[in-house]
Amino acid sequence: MLNKLGFGTWGVGGASGKYGSYGATDDSVSKSALLHAYRNGIKFFDTAPPYGHAEDLLGNIFDEKNFPDIKILTKVGVNLWSDEVNFTSSFITESLHTSLVHLKRKSVFAVILHSLKYELKKGSVREGFSTLLELKREGLVEHIGFSVKSPSEIPRLFELYPEIDIIEANYHLLDVRVHDTKILNSLKRNKSIFIARTPLCFGFLTNKISKESVFDELDHRSRWKQNRQNQINYWIDGRIKLEEIFKRFGYNQPIQELALSFCLQNPLVDYVIPGMMNTDEVNGCLKSIEIESFPKELFLEIELFSHKFNESIKI
């Protein structure tokens, strides 16, 4: 499963505006984490222009000449979190060329339209995807697709844009909407690369956060503390109940390792992209690979729990 474990670089990119990241970082710590991940077999890195200076970090560490085996996915549509979404051809083309300069590469593994949200019905999405097709024909990118706001958008996207060959969506123990029959059939039928985003639920599927946790003012979760305390409480309560389920089946590893293993064991998932801020967190993610395959009964119980859980909140 090591070939499925990726590295989400939002966190290591450092502060990117109020509520735009997980706060300030130490570049030496971030670089150590990235190199440690690579040396232990992680070759897929997910990044984007608004992730602080994540693209520069990747470019300074993994230049194309010395690290040809690295796979990098970046995004287009938003350069700063404070900006409006922009899927025009000129914006996307300029954005990708700028990313390639930062990444010190002539091409990248994948480019996806970022922050799709509720833009699906707008004409600019069509223009944006057409531009990605052209950039692919030019050899600047190997795979193109979308980062979706909700997994429910996936079937419709494949209908509108059959050339999609990569999709990124939320998927974790507390959000198994991808298991919906229509979504599953759509993914199987189109055989696109599927990337599980937020596998640790913004850190709430770890043992590092409690209901009393205080987040840095530059950490996007501090906004939730102000406006979505009920959501936070639900996530933490859900994590505790999941830990109880795993223990009944004989699994006593930290919940973050079990959460990642859950995503990695799904045969439809091609890459899982947890955020890792330091070498200790990289090691924790690597331990998820060592967990034995979960029995079918455990998967079914988790799925049932997650569906009931999601009926009570809006994700």
User: What pLDDT digit, counting tens, does each position of 186-216 carry?
Assistant: 999 999 999 999 999 999 999 999 888 888 8
pLDDT, residue 96, reads 98
| CA 187, chain centre distance (Å) | 17
Distance CA 267, CA 257 (A): 18
- Assigned token pair, 222: 């501090």
193, β-bridge pairs: 166
Within 10 A of 163 (CB to CB), how many other CB atoms are there?
14
* 211 within 8 A of 233, measured Cβ to Cβ: yes
* 301 within 8 A of 245, measured Cβ to Cβ: yes
| CA 282, chain centre distance (Å) | 15
The rounded percent of the chain whose pLDDT value lies above 70 is: 94
Within 10 A of 133 (CB to CB), how many other CB atoms are there?
14
- Assigned token pair, 31: 């670089």
**Band of pLDDT at residue 120, cut at 50, 70 and 90:** low
The rounded percent of the chain whose pLDDT value lies above 90 is: 76
pLDDT, residue 14, reads 87
pLDDT, residue 310, reads 72
**Band of pLDDT at residue 315, cut at 50, 70 and 90:** very low
